[in-house]
Structure 1
Amino acid sequence: MPYKEREINKMYYTMGEVSAMFDVNQSLIRYYEKEFDILQPKKNKKGNRYFTPEDVENLKIIFHLIRDKGFTLAGAKEHLKKNSNDTKDTQSMITTLENLKKFLLEVRDQM
Protein backbone atom coordinates (compact mmCIF):
# COMPACT_ATOMS: atom_id res chain seq x y z
CA MET A 1 0.00 0.00 0.00
CA PRO A 2 1.50 3.40 -0.95
CA TYR A 3 2.42 5.88 1.72
CA LYS A 4 -0.08 8.68 2.09
CA GLU A 5 0.89 11.86 3.86
CA ARG A 6 -1.50 13.17 6.44
CA GLU A 7 -2.91 16.60 5.94
CA ILE A 8 -1.61 19.17 8.35
CA ASN A 9 -4.45 20.87 10.16
CA LYS A 10 -3.55 24.15 11.74
CA MET A 11 -5.06 25.23 15.01
CA TYR A 12 -4.98 28.92 14.11
CA TYR A 13 -4.76 30.91 10.89
CA THR A 14 -3.45 34.47 10.72
CA MET A 15 -5.41 37.31 9.17
CA GLY A 16 -3.11 37.26 6.13
CA GLU A 17 -3.66 33.55 5.55
CA VAL A 18 -7.42 33.89 5.83
CA SER A 19 -7.56 36.89 3.50
CA ALA A 20 -5.45 34.98 0.95
CA MET A 21 -7.73 31.94 1.34
CA PHE A 22 -10.78 33.96 0.37
CA ASP A 23 -8.94 36.37 -1.95
CA VAL A 24 -10.32 39.46 -0.20
CA ASN A 25 -8.89 42.43 1.65
CA GLN A 26 -8.28 42.10 5.36
CA SER A 27 -10.58 45.06 5.99
CA LEU A 28 -13.54 43.07 4.64
CA ILE A 29 -12.86 40.23 7.08
CA ARG A 30 -12.58 42.72 9.95
CA TYR A 31 -15.88 44.27 8.86
CA TYR A 32 -17.60 40.86 8.77
CA GLU A 33 -16.17 40.16 12.21
CA LYS A 34 -18.01 43.23 13.54
CA GLU A 35 -21.22 42.42 11.70
CA PHE A 36 -21.60 38.67 12.36
CA ASP A 37 -21.75 37.25 15.88
CA ILE A 38 -20.65 33.76 14.82
CA LEU A 39 -17.23 35.09 13.80
CA GLN A 40 -15.06 35.38 16.93
CA PRO A 41 -11.32 35.17 16.17
CA LYS A 42 -8.88 35.12 19.06
CA LYS A 43 -6.70 38.18 19.59
CA ASN A 44 -3.28 38.35 21.20
CA LYS A 45 -1.93 41.25 23.28
CA LYS A 46 -0.91 43.14 20.16
CA GLY A 47 -4.40 42.78 18.69
CA ASN A 48 -3.47 40.32 15.94
CA ARG A 49 -6.37 38.09 15.00
CA TYR A 50 -6.04 34.31 14.93
CA PHE A 51 -8.83 32.34 13.28
CA THR A 52 -9.72 28.79 14.29
CA PRO A 53 -10.83 26.27 11.65
CA GLU A 54 -14.38 26.84 12.92
CA ASP A 55 -14.02 30.58 12.21
CA VAL A 56 -12.81 29.76 8.70
CA GLU A 57 -15.86 27.51 8.16
CA ASN A 58 -18.12 30.30 9.40
CA LEU A 59 -16.45 32.69 6.96
CA LYS A 60 -17.08 30.19 4.16
CA ILE A 61 -20.75 30.20 5.10
CA ILE A 62 -20.88 34.00 5.17
CA PHE A 63 -19.16 34.32 1.79
CA HIS A 64 -21.41 31.64 0.30
CA LEU A 65 -24.53 33.46 1.44
CA ILE A 66 -23.37 36.89 0.33
CA ARG A 67 -21.48 36.09 -2.88
CA ASP A 68 -23.19 32.99 -4.25
CA LYS A 69 -26.73 33.32 -2.94
CA GLY A 70 -26.87 37.13 -3.23
CA PHE A 71 -28.01 37.85 0.32
CA THR A 72 -27.62 41.31 1.79
CA LEU A 73 -25.74 41.61 5.07
CA ALA A 74 -28.99 41.96 7.01
CA GLY A 75 -30.49 39.01 5.13
CA ALA A 76 -27.42 36.85 5.76
CA LYS A 77 -27.50 37.68 9.49
CA GLU A 78 -31.18 36.80 9.70
CA HIS A 79 -30.67 33.57 7.76
CA LEU A 80 -27.82 32.53 10.05
CA LYS A 81 -29.91 33.23 13.16
CA LYS A 82 -32.88 31.21 11.92
CA ASN A 83 -31.16 28.37 10.05
CA SER A 84 -27.76 28.05 11.69
CA ASN A 85 -27.57 24.25 11.73
CA ASP A 86 -29.04 23.79 8.25
CA THR A 87 -26.64 26.32 6.79
CA LYS A 88 -23.63 24.63 8.42
CA ASP A 89 -24.77 21.23 7.13
CA THR A 90 -25.20 22.62 3.62
CA GLN A 91 -21.75 24.20 3.72
CA SER A 92 -20.16 20.95 4.89
CA MET A 93 -21.83 19.11 1.98
CA ILE A 94 -20.56 21.74 -0.46
CA THR A 95 -17.02 21.38 0.92
CA THR A 96 -17.21 17.58 0.68
CA LEU A 97 -18.41 17.76 -2.92
CA GLU A 98 -15.66 20.23 -3.84
CA ASN A 99 -13.05 17.89 -2.35
CA LEU A 100 -14.53 14.95 -4.25
CA LYS A 101 -14.44 16.94 -7.49
CA LYS A 102 -10.80 17.87 -6.86
CA PHE A 103 -9.93 14.22 -6.22
CA LEU A 104 -11.71 13.03 -9.36
CA LEU A 105 -9.97 15.65 -11.47
CA GLU A 106 -6.60 14.49 -10.09
CA VAL A 107 -7.46 10.88 -10.96
CA ARG A 108 -8.47 11.92 -14.47
CA ASP A 109 -5.24 13.84 -14.98
CA GLN A 110 -3.15 10.86 -13.87
CA MET A 111 -4.74 8.57 -16.45
Structure 2
Amino acid sequence: MPYKEKKIEKYYYSIGEVADMLGVNTSLIRFWEKNFDIIKPHKNKKGNRYFTKKDIENLKLIYHLVKEQGMTLDGARKKIAAQKEDLAENFKLVESLTKIREMLVEIRDMLD
Protein backbone atom coordinates (compact mmCIF):
# COMPACT_ATOMS: atom_id res chain seq x y z
CA MET A 1 0.00 0.00 0.00
CA PRO A 2 1.50 3.37 -0.92
CA TYR A 3 2.51 5.77 1.80
CA LYS A 4 0.06 8.59 2.33
CA GLU A 5 1.06 11.74 4.10
CA LYS A 6 -1.09 12.75 7.01
CA LYS A 7 -3.30 15.68 6.14
CA ILE A 8 -2.61 18.73 8.28
CA GLU A 9 -5.82 19.99 9.84
CA LYS A 10 -6.29 23.66 10.56
CA TYR A 11 -8.29 25.14 13.42
CA TYR A 12 -9.46 28.21 11.52
CA TYR A 13 -10.26 28.75 7.86
CA SER A 14 -10.61 32.09 6.09
CA ILE A 15 -13.82 33.01 4.33
CA GLY A 16 -12.11 32.52 0.96
CA GLU A 17 -11.05 28.98 1.85
CA VAL A 18 -14.57 28.14 3.02
CA ALA A 19 -16.07 29.62 -0.15
CA ASP A 20 -13.75 27.44 -2.25
CA MET A 21 -14.72 24.34 -0.24
CA LEU A 22 -18.41 24.95 -0.91
CA GLY A 23 -18.03 26.35 -4.41
CA VAL A 24 -19.89 29.57 -3.59
CA ASN A 25 -19.05 33.28 -3.37
CA THR A 26 -17.82 34.85 -0.15
CA SER A 27 -20.79 37.21 -0.23
CA LEU A 28 -23.15 34.23 0.04
CA ILE A 29 -21.34 33.02 3.15
CA ARG A 30 -21.61 36.49 4.71
CA PHE A 31 -25.32 36.53 3.78
CA TRP A 32 -25.88 33.12 5.44
CA GLU A 33 -23.96 34.34 8.49
CA LYS A 34 -26.46 37.18 8.88
CA ASN A 35 -29.49 34.93 8.37
CA PHE A 36 -28.54 31.86 10.42
CA ASP A 37 -27.69 32.07 14.12
CA ILE A 38 -25.71 28.80 14.06
CA ILE A 39 -22.83 30.40 12.14
CA LYS A 40 -20.55 32.33 14.47
CA PRO A 41 -17.12 32.90 12.89
CA HIS A 42 -14.33 34.41 14.94
CA LYS A 43 -13.26 37.88 13.84
CA ASN A 44 -9.89 39.51 14.32
CA LYS A 45 -9.30 43.22 14.96
CA LYS A 46 -9.52 43.96 11.24
CA GLY A 47 -12.88 42.19 11.01
CA ASN A 48 -11.65 39.20 9.00
CA ARG A 49 -13.80 36.13 9.56
CA TYR A 50 -12.24 32.83 10.61
CA PHE A 51 -14.41 29.73 10.58
CA THR A 52 -14.01 26.61 12.71
CA LYS A 53 -14.81 23.07 11.56
CA LYS A 54 -18.17 23.36 13.35
CA ASP A 55 -19.00 26.51 11.37
CA ILE A 56 -18.04 24.74 8.14
CA GLU A 57 -20.25 21.76 9.02
CA ASN A 58 -23.14 24.16 9.65
CA LEU A 59 -22.49 25.93 6.35
CA LYS A 60 -22.46 22.59 4.53
CA LEU A 61 -25.78 21.74 6.16
CA ILE A 62 -27.26 25.07 5.06
CA TYR A 63 -25.84 24.56 1.56
CA HIS A 64 -27.44 21.12 1.41
CA LEU A 65 -30.85 22.38 2.50
CA VAL A 66 -30.92 25.55 0.41
CA LYS A 67 -28.99 24.67 -2.75
CA GLU A 68 -29.45 20.90 -3.08
CA GLN A 69 -32.94 20.45 -1.63
CA GLY A 70 -34.26 23.82 -2.82
CA MET A 71 -35.61 25.04 0.52
CA THR A 72 -36.19 28.70 1.24
CA LEU A 73 -34.02 30.42 3.84
CA ASP A 74 -36.97 30.61 6.23
CA GLY A 75 -37.79 26.95 5.69
CA ALA A 76 -34.17 25.90 6.22
CA ARG A 77 -33.95 28.05 9.38
CA LYS A 78 -37.09 26.42 10.80
CA LYS A 79 -35.96 22.92 9.89
CA ILE A 80 -32.55 23.47 11.50
CA ALA A 81 -34.15 24.85 14.66
CA ALA A 82 -36.57 21.93 14.93
CA GLN A 83 -34.32 19.03 13.93
CA LYS A 84 -30.70 20.22 14.22
CA GLU A 85 -29.32 17.04 15.78
CA ASP A 86 -31.07 14.67 13.37
CA LEU A 87 -30.12 16.75 10.34
CA ALA A 88 -26.49 16.97 11.38
CA GLU A 89 -26.36 13.22 12.03
CA ASN A 90 -27.92 12.38 8.66
CA PHE A 91 -25.70 14.83 6.83
CA LYS A 92 -22.56 13.35 8.42
CA LEU A 93 -23.70 9.89 7.36
CA VAL A 94 -24.22 11.04 3.76
CA GLU A 95 -20.78 12.72 3.76
CA SER A 96 -19.13 9.54 5.10
CA LEU A 97 -20.80 7.40 2.46
CA THR A 98 -19.74 9.82 -0.27
CA LYS A 99 -16.12 9.66 0.90
CA ILE A 100 -16.25 5.86 0.99
CA ARG A 101 -17.63 5.80 -2.54
CA GLU A 102 -14.87 8.12 -3.76
CA MET A 103 -12.27 5.89 -2.12
CA LEU A 104 -13.75 2.77 -3.73
CA VAL A 105 -13.84 4.41 -7.15
CA GLU A 106 -10.19 5.42 -6.71
CA ILE A 107 -9.27 1.81 -5.81
CA ARG A 108 -11.21 0.51 -8.81
CA ASP A 109 -9.40 2.92 -11.10
CA MET A 110 -6.03 1.85 -9.69
CA LEU A 111 -6.88 -1.81 -10.38
CA ASP A 112 -7.86 -1.17 -14.01
Which residue does the alignment assign to 1:34?
A: 34
Matches within 5 A, 1:16-95: 16-95=16-95
Which residue does the alignment assign to 1:108?
A: 108
1 CA distance for matches of 2:2 and 2:18?
32
SS in 2 for 1:83: helix
Alignment RMSD (CA, Å): 1.1
Matches within 5 A, 1:7-18: 7-18=7-18
Q: TM-score, normalised by structure 1?
A: 0.95
2 CA distance for matches of 1:26 and 1:4?
32
SS in 1 for 2:4: coil
Identity of aligned residues (%): 49
- 4+ aligned runs moved over 3 Å, structure 1: 1-4
Q: TM-score, normalised by structure 2?
A: 0.94
2 CA distance for matches of 1:87 and 1:7?
27
2 CA distance for matches of 1:42 and 1:19?
16
SS in 1 for 2:37: coil
Gaps of 5+ in 1: none
The residue type equivalent to 1:79 in the other structure is K
The residue type equivalent to 1:72 in the other structure is T
The residue type equivalent to 2:37 in the other structure is D
